[in-house]
Structure 1
Amino acid sequence: MKKFISIFLSSLFLFSFVNVSLAEDLEIREFNPAIPEHAKILEQEKKLYDDYVDGVEDEEVLHENYEMLLNMNNISKEEYTYEDFKLNSGPPVPDPYIKKLNTSNPGKSLRSSTSPPQWEDRWDGKFVGGDILITNGTSSYGFLGHAAIYVGDNGFHHGKDYVLDIPGPGKPVRLTSFSSWKNQYMNKKGDYVSIYRPDFKKGYYNERAGYNANSLYSPVDGTYKNVKYGITLDPLNKEKIYCTLIIYQAYFYSTYGGFTSNFLLANDSEIILPYFLPTYFNYGKEISLVYKVIVG
């Protein structure tokens, strides 16, 4: 566990992706818990997360990485406390835990034996505007996480479908086809891309979020198309942005400033990590993992 925390936190938001080719003996496959190899991966993810929930943490390593994060991003201890840091740090929340989160704390999950919906019933092969993409393929260890949002066409891009993201320090916001984006982050065994879809009863919240992300940050004609990458504790900051903040803002404005019980508001001492993004949708109760592909 100490090794995990050290790797995960020391690389937090400091990584810039370098694209490499997929090895010839590997292929990208649909993730399916019915496949024994994939079921084993899911169990490993659950064990790692259970250890985190149980407080299996190395305080010395946490403090070291907390100080590193503050120093690298010019954030004071008053702005971002050590307790906030501990709350917002951790491994991916594994499915089927997504819909079984502690309603008193979006950063911690209750373990559950409840089975997820049948995998084949989740995905019809079509994206919906506002779909959220999360990958672990952003470092040699896969503990950092990166996120993008599907913006589709929205009448902006001449019929082409795109995902929008900001890949890291020194990089601008970009529009990429899903195929190209997926291939950039899936280069070694165990790399995956998960697609989450908020379960709003009013589906236009999703489509509107895709529209908002595009109109705010599209590098073609977005209002803030020249925004710089940077870590900020202001969830509505538009002078600097990081990957999950684009998605948070897209849904914040889609739900009319969060005026719906299905969407939680971030506080002003919070860094929204990719792996914890699903917890902002009513503590994970109003979002589904609809599709996942994995290298193996």
Structure 2
Amino acid sequence: MKRLVGILSLSLVLLVGGQYVTAEEISNYEVLYNQGIQEGYINSEELSLDNFEKNNEEFNKVYEDGKTENIIEDSLSYSEWLKLNNYGQYSNETVNEQPQGRGWASGFYIRRGDVLVTNGTSSAGFLGHAAIANGENQVLDMPGSGRTSRQMSSQAWVNEYKGKGWVRVYRTSSGIADNAARWADRNYFSTNGTANQNIFPSYSITTQLYSKNPSYCSKLVFQAYWFGTGSVPVMKNSSGIVTPYGLMDRFNANYRPSLIHIY
């Protein structure tokens, strides 16, 4: 397995992670930083190269943990993984507050089909986490390695993550959202639509985007809006891995959910 070593400029061969690799094969933080700027993910006025390098010490551990636990495919390099995770950045958006619904959570109403994204956790293989409200007071997600799909109250889900970072809530039109929520519930929790779970997919980050097992958090949400909305072109025809930080970019512009609340 190739390990990330930081910035190297010498042309030499090193023993890294039990394998011999050349300097050219090792990801360069400065190159990645400049790529992130060019691609619009990094604002150099808000994030310096020094801080980017410090952040990548944490990011690299998340990546390596995913490799160690065999939930990231071996072919995915660190630079490819980091780009999928938006270089560890999340865009600033204007909040369009819409306090309607019946799923009360810390002073705000979460509705069926709402998409939740948080930076309050980073599990092995991913930066951030994503979920979908599969009911007026329930949130459905896949919380990480070694675990399966999980349903919990909106309040409990928000409380689990908001103290560690932010939680963003996104909402699209109610008809589309209701259909996506129902699909997620019937395909990832209960085939009967009851409170008794009888679907238990395993957790793994693979490029098989349209298969339901194994799965992961943002893939669950993507599939809900891809399969659950019929012929309506809600999602872009996609492939590969959908990360929590890249999830909103997979929606077509006319159906992209609005940011309606930040915890």
Which residue in 2 is equivalent to 1:163?
Answer: 139
Distance 2:72 2:256 in 1: 35
Which residue in 1 is equivalent to 2:84?
Answer: 88
Q: Where do 1:123-272 residues align within 5 Å? A: 123-124=99-100, 125-139=108-122, 144-152=127-135, 161-188=137-164, 191-198=165-172, 200=173, 203-218=174-189, 221=192, 225-256=199-230, 259-260=232-233, 262-267=234-239, 270-272=240-242
Unaligned runs of at least 5 residues, structure 1: 1-5, 7-46, 97-115, 154-160
Distance 1:205 1:65 in 2: 34
Which residue in 2 is equivalent to 1:50?
Answer: 43
- Bigger radius of gyration, 1 or 2? 2
Q: CA deviation at 1:139?
A: 4.8
Which residue in 1 is equivalent to 2:104?
Answer: none
Q: Which amino acid aligns with 1:85?
A: W
In terms of mean alpha carbon deviation, does 276-285 or 236-245 score higher? 276-285
Q: What CA RMSD, in Å, does the superposition of the two structures yield over aligned residues?
A: 3.8
Assess if the C-alpha contact under 8 Å between 1:137 and 1:192 holds in 2: yes
Number of residues of Structure 1 aligned to a counterpart in Structure 2: 206
Assess if the C-alpha contact under 8 Å between 1:196 and 1:290 holds in 2: yes
Report percent identity of matched pairs. 28
Which residue in 2 is equivalent to 1:73?
Answer: 71
Distance 1:172 1:69 in 2: 16
Assess if the C-alpha contact under 8 Å between 1:278 and 1:287 holds in 2: yes
TM-score (norm 1): 0.57
Unaligned runs of at least 5 residues, structure 2: 1-5, 7-39, 101-107
Q: Where do 1:92-111 residues align within 5 Å? A: 92-96=89-93
CA deviations 1:189-233 (Å, max 9, x no partner) are xx12110113x5xx3111100000000011585797121111111
Q: Which amino acid aligns with 2:244?
A: P
3-state DSSP of counterpart to 2:43:
helix
Question: Structure 1 66/229 Cα, relative in aligned 2: closer, same or farther at 3 Å?
Answer: closer
Question: Structure 1 232/204 Cα, relative in aligned 2: closer, same or farther at 3 Å?
Answer: same
3-state DSSP of counterpart to 2:171:
strand
Q: CA deviation at 1:70?
A: 5.2
3-state DSSP of counterpart to 1:144:
coil
Assess if the C-alpha contact under 8 Å between 1:216 and 1:224 holds in 2: no
3-state DSSP of counterpart to 1:291:
strand
Assess if the C-alpha contact under 8 Å between 1:174 and 1:219 holds in 2: no
Assess if the C-alpha contact under 8 Å between 2:82 and 2:88 holds in 1: no
Distance 2:162 2:114 in 1: 19
3-state DSSP of counterpart to 1:247:
helix
Q: Which amino acid aligns with 1:242?
A: Y
For residue 257 of structure 2, the aligned residue among 256, 281, 287 is: 287
Distance 1:194 1:74 in 2: 26
Distance 1:226 1:65 in 2: 24
CA deviations 1:153-194 (Å, max 9, x no partner) are 5xxxxxxx2100111111121110011111112334xx1211
Q: CA deviation at 1:122?
A: 3.6
Q: CA deviation at 1:73?
A: 3.2
TM-score (norm 2): 0.64
Distance 2:88 2:72 in 1: 24
Question: Structure 1 68/168 Cα, relative in aligned 2: closer, same or farther at 3 Å?
Answer: closer
